[in-house]
Amino acid sequence: MSRIVSMWLPHLAIERLKRERTASGATLQPDDRPFALVGSDARGLKLTAVNARSLRDGLAPGLRLADARAICPHLLTAPAAPDKDAAALLALVRWSSRYSPTFNVDGDDGLWLDITGVSHLFGGERALLADIATRLARACLTARLGSAETFGGAHALARFARPSPCIALPGKIEEALTTLPVEALRLQPETAELLRRLGLRRIGQLTDLPRASLERRFHSKEAAQAVLLRLDQMLGRREEKRASLLPAPDFVARLPFAEPLITHDGVIAGLDRLAVELCQTLARAGCGARRVTLWAARTDGSSAAIEVGFSVPSCAPSHIVRLLKDKIETIDMGFGVDLMALAALITEPLRLTQTSLTETDGDVRPEALIDALANRLGKSAVRRLFPRASHIPEWGQSLRSAFAGRPAWTNDAPVVRARKPPRPLLLLSRPEPLTVLAEIPEGPPARFTWRRVSRRVVKAEGPERIAPEWWRALAMLNKPRPRDYYRIEDEDGCRYWVFREGLYQDSTDETPGWFLHGVFG
């Protein structure tokens, strides 16, 4: 059976403003004076939030400012900031992930948590709600809490039940909701008003009536269906879909602290424990992390998070800790961190490897270096070569992100490798033109100039004919010319890889050109 916790923050907007003014050192409005936030719509100015004193004086959100001034001439006001209120609520929702991985906002002034199967980690459901209430009160936030087996039931208890927190025991939800007003059903105001005119003021009166009799009391079938739907959802007779703000990670490790951490050294020590626990869980599932996040909850209700990515799936605790350590200094400790969580946001199956007791496979694994560089410089700054099927040397590979996976370079057999002509260690990304001073027709140059330096050739090997693939030739507008590659050496012992593009006996009008493509070591 699921368990849902609903939190209602009736004065969130005003308390957010008070916290903002306290942090900036501005003058605060006295609590014993009526105070309201004012917004605007198509009809003019209206109250969007009021404090407790304004409620006692007969004011309420939605009241027009002119009417509010007539009721309470000494009303103090300030402009509303709905964007800041939404950001504050979102930050509070993220903070509540310390209690559950499934959570989301509930309107403009509330949120909900799915605590199914996690309440025992906090000493039970009542202890969990007490902890939430204590932390919110410490942050100077007024909150009402309700817990039930349905979202509608928890929502109703948080907003209409007394006292707070209010818990509906499993299987006792109908008894807990009997005395609540019909407004707790989350109906449209006109529908709730119609119920009151019909003499149905409490939810218990609705549950006692036969469904057919309840439907006949409404002139509109849609209104009757809306009441029955909300009633069934509240009592658990119909399922109500809820979407979490963030997808719950399948692999997460949590570490609460009895005393808040105030230094980054404490965070690093906690990170070591979290990484080991997370990697053990990943290893049992045969998965590796491609992206992990370290989340730190501060005692004042705020939180901070840092993320790192991996070029290949990893479940090595030392590697995860090494990458996160570089970013831990960016975490603002505030008044202390009392909860840390390490989650694998993206995972992939680990690649199977053959282990040996005597020898390694000689495979070079640069992933640790790639991850360190990418997380320090950015993913776009680190790239690696990937093979591409082409005879043309500069087309035989492509540069892609280092996080695009591991390139599948094939290791040719030694016999086949020996038959291939040697290739230079340094291959230019683009062949550079040469000025040939002494040329042998259909042979290597006797003298050439490269980068303004003239060189005399003393040795030469070749040619090696290389031509584009036939399908590339068909796609190119200009017919590609074959290349004759030569390995040459000048009088200083420097060796080069040059080619002549085109043939002298070719019928085209273009003169063959010479290019330098690489340098041997």
Task: Give the chain's domains with CATH numbers.
Answer: 251-348 (3.30.1490.100), 417-519 (no CATH)
Of 44-48, 245-249, 448-452, where does mean pLDDT reach its minimum?
A: 245-249
Q: Which of 188, 189, 197 is nearest to 217 (CA)?
A: 197
Q: Mean pLDDT across the stretch 296-312?
A: 84
Confidence of residue 233 (pLDDT cuts 50, 70, 90): very high
Give the pLDDT of residue 23.
Answer: 81
pLDDT in tens, 6-21: 999 999 999 999 988 8
CA distance 173 to 393: 74
CB 308 within 8 A of CB 324: yes
Cα separations in angstroms, 273 against 39, 51, 93, 270, 280: 49, 45, 26, 5, 11
Give the pLDDT of residue 355.
Answer: 55
Which residues, including other chains, have CB under 8 Å from residue 518's CB and lie 6 or more apart? 393, 423, 424, 425, 426, 427, 428, 496, 497
CA distance 172 to 236: 11
Per the model's pLDDT, the better-predicted residue between 26 and 114 turns out to be 114
Q: Is the pLDDT of residue 299 over 90?
A: no
Q: Is the pLDDT of residue 507 over 60?
A: no
Of 79-93, 110-124, 180-194, 474-488, where does mean pLDDT reach its minimum?
A: 474-488
Q: Mean pLDDT across the stretch 63-92?
A: 92
pLDDT in tens, 472-501: 655 555 566 788 999 999 999 999 999 998
Confidence of residue 413 (pLDDT cuts 50, 70, 90): very low
Q: Which of 242, 274, 234 is nearest to 100 (CA)?
A: 242
Q: Mean pLDDT across the stretch 268-278?
A: 92
CA distance 350 to 408: 16
Query: At 297, is the secondary structure helix, strand, or coil?
Result: strand
Give the pLDDT of residue 35.
Answer: 92
Give the pLDDT of residue 12.
Answer: 93
Strands 287-298 and 495-501 come out as unpaired
CA distance 446 to 456: 6
What does residue 449 show for φ and ψ, rounded to 5 degrees?
-120, 125
Q: Is the pLDDT of residue 260 over 70?
A: yes
Give the pLDDT of residue 389.
Answer: 77
CA distance 516 to 450: 8
As a whole number, the mean pLDDT across the chain is 85
- Look-up of token digits 């499934």: 102
Which residues, including other chains, have CB under 8 Å from residue 307's CB and lie 6 or more apart? 291, 292, 293, 294, 345
Q: Is the pLDDT of residue 1 over 80?
A: no
| pTM reported for the whole predicted model | 0.63
Rounded to a whole number of angstroms, the distance between the first and last alpha carbons of the chain is 71
Confidence of residue 518 (pLDDT cuts 50, 70, 90): very high
Which residues, including other chains, have CB under 8 Å from residue 100's CB and lie 6 or more apart? 5, 113, 114, 115, 118
Q: Is the pLDDT of residue 462 over 90?
A: no
Which residues, including other chains, have CB under 8 Å from residue 467's CB and lie 6 or more apart? 391, 473, 480, 482, 483
Q: Is the pLDDT of residue 214 over 70?
A: yes
- Secondary structure (DSSP) of 14-26: HHHHHHHHHHHTP
Give the pLDDT of residue 417.
Answer: 45
Per the model's pLDDT, the better-predicted residue between 230 and 215 turns out to be 230
Query: At 251, is the secondary structure helix, strand, or coil?
Result: strand
Query: At 378, is the secondary structure helix, strand, or coil?
Result: coil
CB 74 within 8 A of CB 68: no
Confidence of residue 439 (pLDDT cuts 50, 70, 90): low
Q: Is the pLDDT of residue 291 over 80?
A: yes
Give the pLDDT of residue 479.
Answer: 63
CB 74 within 8 A of CB 51: no
